[in-house]
Amino acid sequence: MDGNWVKALRESGRSGKKCLELEREKSNVDVDKLASFMFTNEAMERNERLLDILKADPVFDKTQNYFRGREARIEASLARGKRLRQLQVKHNWSKEEYNTANELISEPTPYGLHASMFLITLREQGTPEQHERFLKKAEAYEYIGCYAQTELGHGSNVRGLETTATWNPDDKTFILHSPHLTSSKWWIGSLGKVANHAVVMAQLIIGGKPYGPHPFVVQIRDLKTHEPLENIHVGDIGPKFGYNTMDNGFLLFNKVKIPHANMLARFSGVDPNSNKYVRPSNPSLVYGTLTWVRSNIVLQSGSVLARGVTIAVRYCSVRRQFTDRDAPEDEVRENQVINYTMVQQRLFPLLAACFALHFTGRGMIELYDANQAAMKRKENPGKVSEDSNQTGRSAGPEELNPGADLLADLHSTSCALKSYASTVAGEGLEVCRRACGGHGYSSFSGIGSWYADYLPTLTWEGDNYMLTQQVSRYLLKSARAVLKNASKAGNFNAVKGDNDTTAILKTYKRRMDIGAGFDVLGNDEDLVAAYAWRVGYLTFQALQHRDEEKRSWNSLLVDFFRLSTAHAQYMVVKNFHGALASSSLQSSLPTATKDVLHSLFRLYALHTLEKESSEFFQSAACTIRQIQLARTKTVPQLMTDIRPHAVRLVDSWKFSDWLLDSSLGRYDGAVYEDMFKRASEDNPLNKVVFDPYPDSGVLFKKDERSSMKSKL
Amino acid sequence: MDGNWVKALRESGRSGKKCLELEREKSNVDVDKLASFMFTNEAMERNERLLDILKADPVFDKTQNYFRGREARIEASLARGKRLRQLQVKHNWSKEEYNTANELISEPTPYGLHASMFLITLREQGTPEQHERFLKKAEAYEYIGCYAQTELGHGSNVRGLETTATWNPDDKTFILHSPHLTSSKWWIGSLGKVANHAVVMAQLIIGGKPYGPHPFVVQIRDLKTHEPLENIHVGDIGPKFGYNTMDNGFLLFNKVKIPHANMLARFSGVDPNSNKYVRPSNPSLVYGTLTWVRSNIVLQSGSVLARGVTIAVRYCSVRRQFTDRDAPEDEVRENQVINYTMVQQRLFPLLAACFALHFTGRGMIELYDANQAAMKRKENPGKVSEDSNQTGRSAGPEELNPGADLLADLHSTSCALKSYASTVAGEGLEVCRRACGGHGYSSFSGIGSWYADYLPTLTWEGDNYMLTQQVSRYLLKSARAVLKNASKAGNFNAVKGDNDTTAILKTYKRRMDIGAGFDVLGNDEDLVAAYAWRVGYLTFQALQHRDEEKRSWNSLLVDFFRLSTAHAQYMVVKNFHGALASSSLQSSLPTATKDVLHSLFRLYALHTLEKESSEFFQSAACTIRQIQLARTKTVPQLMTDIRPHAVRLVDSWKFSDWLLDSSLGRYDGAVYEDMFKRASEDNPLNKVVFDPYPDSGVLFKKDERSSMKSKL
């Protein structure tokens, strides 16, 4: 075919490039100032520096990513993991630089769990001798490992793990065994193809008595041949909805012996002389790590969602479809899709959520750091422990040592926010994909794969539904304390040392009979207070169900989910509002930019209020009239205010085209050229010619690829 | 590795098989009677007969489906399409039998669009001469074709298509041309690799004057070499979020000449002598086809969703996690996940929706048939026309010929229901996938790929957001008529010939000042009436915005979406209620089964009412008290009533394991064995051994597959 006439073709009407230029002209949002305030110049400089290194290396070329099958993707991803490690050594990268490079590739590689959980666990749960024995080789990538906790039959319920590690007093060894099929380790990242070692969480059994899950270091593959060792059955668990560059694996043991030294013994262990269990120290540190991990999920959720919003906002500014129905008859130019209120209704609240979640995550991290510092002062080692994984995922604040009240509050908040933020981000990405219309369905949109890869976050580090029980348990506990103290004090007045939860519960109790009367449409503080009020209402309602009506825990799970969600939304609104009021933001951003951020805050808060309206009016946090006004007047007005700034607002997240790998989300708006190039030139399927006739008995007329032969 | 100890392993605790046996014992729902009522024995017999044929044929073996990359999937799928055609000839299958076989394979094959749109369009829009010329060869699979309408730059807005077909009076030909890059045909099924012909929708131009999009038959590839013809650029558009067994393609023309005979001329054309345009006959028939297509999407949406619900309900009955928090301390057995109210809250309303949508779809089809019959009697040819595709997708009831009032109502209803039903099914599948916890993410769950393949239905045959404008336009029109007639009649009394929409709008107007007072919790008719009332309220509210406040159309799109959704939900509740009351159901099902269906009806209606509560109380269709009671008492009670019947209810959809291709959804509950077998034995990735070390410079230690070599 003659390609010249094809190459000469251009898109019709106003070009995508022109569309985005005009969008950027329309707004006075200061992209660079906003970006450096959100991410710091240092981080952005690091990004650019590493981006140049990666783009220059053919191993990281993304051109074929969307076309590859699973096996080819794993191959490419392992090659990338190896090269990344080589570059880390060559450039002497810091952990931060290594992680940033990993994010720029933005696919999980089979080295992922070695570099994170395996090393962390050895470091934090190993004794100095064990660091000598395992950590050194692991840091040198002679031992390549994974963290094997989840099993085929047990995920969330860590206490139910079936794999056993039985102490053998005769030869001072542990015998690792998988008694059932459901005991098989499952979903373990980096285990399927790459790991030669694993930290295995197994039920410790001494003298026939179980002591709960503990961590054991086990070699699983030969260091030379990389074949599984005897009595070990290990492999890849197969394809998934996403995350297919990772070799999630399974692992079974048939009475495998390991030496005493292989039980990670910093916090607990077995005394080989007395054959007795050595109790763990300091369970409260458990919360430390989990809170830290979840706080980071909250922080990331903002930028995870922002990737999808960036792509959708840019493409909807380029795409034109239909002329406005009220436009004059002779109007020929079609309307930009982003001008349709139905599209704005879907995208702008998510745009607002990106910033809301980002500032909330930052707030969480700051609170966490403050807490860790406070605990250090309390003579805790302050060293954070992965011991958490023994009990943490199903542990509740009850188990806290006394005085860790703030930490319990932080733990509960991190559970509520992890659950809420990752759900908002995950589901928001799918909304962004659909807002791109038909082309959102193409892999070249760059949203689908990103969405699919992110979905596990809704399940791991605590299932988003399960977590809401921990939040509710804590809120009920706080509410009981509030009532108890009030019956002593005779009132619900605030006292020194009340944490935020106690404070909002008391406020609600003080005023519940007077009524709220919040000016949610006219006053930001009242808007935040309305969210707090709703939490108070739902908490005491749940408490009544549980303590007075003696309803079963199971019968209240739906109420608990609502309660946790309400608490998370309150925290997000509060944190976003706090960030806007902060002197750091006030001093570093121009007025125009601050005004747009303020519109985003109000849009997030009022759109969410309208969405959850039934709880807001049932709790009398606001009136039906206010909700109707929000829906018909305020929210639509905010959409109009934000509209001209949409493109610059997504620009301020500073995602490079290389990172996004999206035709629709290109910074320059050359959407259709890029779609066409990928389909027409990069697509390997266009290198073959099929025989189309049912009775021909062959599949191929012509095949320019080595790998395929006629089949039928 | 020694596999014997592995083969000896069994799942711990109560086996999945036992779990499902017990579930089936618990319920007295008559699975076979229910199934034969829903699908007819004839259809089920056909299913089984065809299933045996397909299972016996290696071409249809599904074992490797989830492991294949896109190219291998297209290969396999084309081979299946060919074999399906061979079997159709061999067994002399009817169209129904062919479609059933296609559904059992349940993947789109590259023959899909030839067998549907291409043949239908030739048949219905071609003249007898054109049937001779094109249809015969197409039916013999000498011409293999597709239907090329959508373009890179235009989907929903058909009038905006850029491809031109210019009439050349000198040599009586049409010149097909793609003036811009955005003119490229895009997303065209069966075009990418297989079609040698296409029906191309192009803007007809005569003497410089445009006459809108019309259908032209164009040969695009050589019949022998299958290479593209000169000045035609055609190929596959690349990978998608799903639907990757289909060769969706692109197509560009560089001034390609086709004879006069290639414009499908049954309804309109060009007179070669006068060089004048021949006007189309009977535009109203447009609605016929679109309504039929959409009605079928509604009917399918029930079983589409039921596949996911079947898998999730079975797996959640097998899976056990955590002991009940209120269980005695010594309770060791873990709770079936389906016993958790949070899981029931997610799955049971969807279970109810499956039946609701099924009966609604059936109602739509019956209405459609009745209408077609009525139109035939009105001396319309009654033959349904794909002419629709010229204007249909953006056509509005205004264009109806007088007297087609019922048809307009049906058209509007089909738009509302297509938009609502396909959204409920698509989003519901993702809810089912997540309800399966971590394993829902595995491809072996069988939900992810099914969900991804279904998603385009939310966009095609009218984008689910766009369609709601047509619904609202019709409802506003009806409301205006109601007001007009009332001002004549002096009242809103019903008159003979009122269609359902007019009736409910009048009822609302008659009683809006008196109030509703519906007993939504105690009386089914009142429950349906409350849904009708809400439609009336939202319709007149929108009318006020548009006609009195003169709000712009664009500013009302969000209200229109709510209005259309409310109308769809009313139709679903009404149809479900009607089906339950029908003598056919009453006479064919045992009481116990009818009672469970009735619980499903109430669950669907009351759960939806509670979800949309703000509109129900704002319209005063019910009180806040009723909503609170629904949430805290009635809905939870219905969940409890339905719980023991969940497994039998999904059994009654009669999905074969071969169709579902799901480890989690296996009829016999052997979930973990199946997961393990697929991962451990079927997984090709476990036939290679990677070299894990970063500096080794090679990727493979061992590779038992031909296709891969060391790369790094």
Asked whether residue A390 carries a pLDDT value surpassing 60, the answer given is no
Residues B417, B317 share a domain: yes
Judged by a CB distance cut-off of 8 A, whether residue B561 touches chain A is yes
Q: What is the mean pLDDT of residues A382-394?
A: 37
Given an 8 Å threshold on Cβ–Cβ distance, is B66 in contact with A239?
yes
Nearest-by-CA chain A residue for B615: A614
- For the whole prediction, is pTM greater than 0.80? yes
Q: What is the mean pLDDT of residues B528-555?
A: 97
Q: A with B: how many residue pairs have Cβ under 8 Å apart?
A: 399
User: DSSP secondary-structure letter at A240?
Assistant: B
pLDDT tens for B676-704 read: 999 999 999 999 999 999 998 778 888 77
Q: Do the annotations mark residue A249 as ligand-binding?
A: no
| pLDDT score of A323 | 75
Residues B424, B448 share a domain: yes
Given an 8 Å threshold on Cβ–Cβ distance, is B238 in contact with A178?
no
User: How far does A497 lie from chain B, in Å, by closest CA?
Assistant: 32
Q: What is the mean pLDDT of residues A263-270?
A: 94
The confidence band for B459, taking pLDDT boundaries of 50, 70 and 90, is confident
Judged by a CB distance cut-off of 8 A, whether residue A3 touches chain B is yes
Both structure tokens of B401: 């010929």
Q: What percent of chain A has pLDDT over 90?
A: 82
Average pLDDT over chain A, rounded to an integer: 91
Report the SS3 class of residue A187.
Answer: strand
> What distance in Å separates the CA atoms of residue A35 and residue B275, rounded to the nearest whole number?
62
Given an 8 Å threshold on Cβ–Cβ distance, is B238 in contact with A614?
no
C-alpha atoms less than 13 angstroms from C-alpha of A629 in its C-beta half-sphere: 9
> What distance in Å separates the CA atoms of residue B257 and residue A402, rounded to the nearest whole number?
86
Catalytic sites of B, residue numbers: 461
Residues B237, B318 share a domain: no
Phi, psi of A520 (to 5 degrees): -65, -25
Assess if residue B310 is contained within a domain: yes
With contacts defined as CB-CB under 8 Å, which chain B residues touch A246? none
| pLDDT score of A375 | 74
Q: Which residue has the higher pLDDT, B582 or A388?
A: B582
Residues A185, A163 share a domain: yes
If you count them, how many residues does chain B have? 712
Residue type present at position B167: W
CATH number at residue A179: 2.40.110.10
| pLDDT score of A389 | 36
Assess if residue B112 is contained within a domain: no
Token pair 């047509």 in the structure block, residue: B470
Phi, psi of B161 (to 5 degrees): -55, 145
The confidence band for B373, taking pLDDT boundaries of 50, 70 and 90, is confident
Assess if residue B440 is contained within a domain: yes
> What distance in Å separates the CA atoms of residue A55 and residue B143, rounded to the nearest whole number?
46
Residues A300, A276 share a domain: no
| pLDDT score of B370 | 85
Given an 8 Å threshold on Cβ–Cβ distance, is A2 in contact with B230?
yes
| pLDDT score of B680 | 93
Asked whether residue A708 carries a pLDDT value surpassing 60, the answer given is no
State the DSSP H helix or E strand holding residue A427, giving kind and residue range, or none if neither. Answer: helix A405-435
Assess if residue B357 is contained within a domain: yes
Among A155-159, B94-98, B437-441, where is mean pLDDT lowest? A155-159
Full DSSP string of B34-89: HHHHHH-HHHHHHHHHHHHHHHT-GGG--TTGGG--HHHHHHHHHHHHHHHHHHHH
Assess if residue A93 is contained within a domain: no
The confidence band for B711, taking pLDDT boundaries of 50, 70 and 90, is very low
The confidence band for B329, taking pLDDT boundaries of 50, 70 and 90, is low
Report the SS3 class of residue B569.
Answer: helix
Strands B164-168 vs B197-206: parallel, antiparallel or unpaired: parallel
What residues of chain B, 322 to 381, have a C-beta less than 8 Å from chain A? 322, 324-326, 334, 339-342, 345
Token pair 């290990």 in the structure block, residue: A234
Given an 8 Å threshold on Cβ–Cβ distance, is A557 in contact with B341?
yes
Judged by a CB distance cut-off of 8 A, whether residue A615 touches chain B is no
Across the interface, of B1, B9, B339, the residue whose CB is closest to A181 is B9
Judged by a CB distance cut-off of 8 A, whether residue A438 touches chain B is yes
Asked whether residue A215 carries a pLDDT value surpassing 70, the answer given is yes
Strands B185-188 vs B700-703: parallel, antiparallel or unpaired: unpaired
pLDDT tens for B7-19 read: 999 999 889 999 9
ipTM metric: 0.93
Report the SS3 class of residue A224.
Answer: coil
Asked whether residue A468 carries a pLDDT value surpassing 60, the answer given is yes
Given an 8 Å threshold on Cβ–Cβ distance, is B437 in contact with A254?
no
CATH number at residue B316: 1.20.140.10
- Hey, CA dihedral for A642, A648, A654, A656, is it positive or negative? positive
Structural domain range at position A203: 144-280
Across the interface, of A75, A238, A334, the residue whose CB is closest to B443 is A238
- Hey, CA dihedral for A644, A646, A650, A656, is it positive or negative? negative
Assess if residue A309 is contained within a domain: yes
Report the SS3 class of residue B344.
Answer: helix
Q: What is the mean pLDDT of residues A318-324?
A: 84
With contacts defined as CB-CB under 8 Å, which chain B residues touch A463? 437
Q: Are B16 and B672 in contact (CB under 8 A)?
A: yes
**Closest Cα to residue B241, out of A602, A121, A449?**
A449
The confidence band for B288, taking pLDDT boundaries of 50, 70 and 90, is low
Q: What percent of chain A has pLDDT over 70?
A: 93
Q: What is the mean pLDDT of residues A303-314?
A: 98
Angle between helical axes of A500-511 and A524-543 (0-180°, round to 10): 90
Given an 8 Å threshold on Cβ–Cβ distance, is B74 in contact with A685?
yes
Residues A355, A228 share a domain: no
User: How far does B15 lie from chain A, in Å, by closest CA?
Assistant: 10
> What distance in Å separates the CA atoms of residue A304 and residue A704, rounded to the nearest whole number?
39
Q: Do the annotations mark residue B438 as ligand-binding?
A: no
The confidence band for A13, taking pLDDT boundaries of 50, 70 and 90, is confident
Report the SS3 class of residue A254.
Answer: coil
Q: Are B83 and B61 in contact (CB under 8 A)?
A: no
| pLDDT score of B404 | 55
The confidence band for B375, taking pLDDT boundaries of 50, 70 and 90, is confident
Report the SS3 class of residue A12.
Answer: coil
Token pair 């590839």 in the structure block, residue: B221
Report the SS3 class of residue A526.
Answer: helix
The confidence band for A280, taking pLDDT boundaries of 50, 70 and 90, is confident
| pLDDT score of B496 | 86
Instruction: Give exposure, B323-335, as e/b (b: 16+ Cβ within 10 Å).
Output: beeebeeeeeebb
Residues A335, A271 share a domain: no
Residues A337, A238 share a domain: no
Residues B419, B328 share a domain: yes
Assess if residue A521 is contained within a domain: yes
Asked whether residue A405 carries a pLDDT value surpassing 50, the answer given is yes
Assess if residue B172 is contained within a domain: yes
User: DSSP secondary-structure letter at A339?
Assistant: G
- Domain edge (last residue) among A280, A314, A342: A280
- Hey, CA dihedral for A217, A223, A225, A226, is it positive or negative? positive
Residues A341, A468 share a domain: yes
pLDDT tens for B392-437 read: 333 333 333 434 577 888 899 999 999 999 999 999 999 999 999 9
If you count them, how many residues does chain A have? 712
| Catalytic position from the list A386, A461, A612, A673 | A461
Residues A258, A324 share a domain: no
Residues B295, B267 share a domain: no
Q: Are A107 and A77 in contact (CB under 8 A)?
A: yes
Q: How many domains does chain B have?
A: 3
Asked whether residue A211 carries a pLDDT value surpassing 80, the answer given is yes
> What distance in Å separates the CA atoms of residue B135 and residue B118, rounded to the nearest whole number?
9
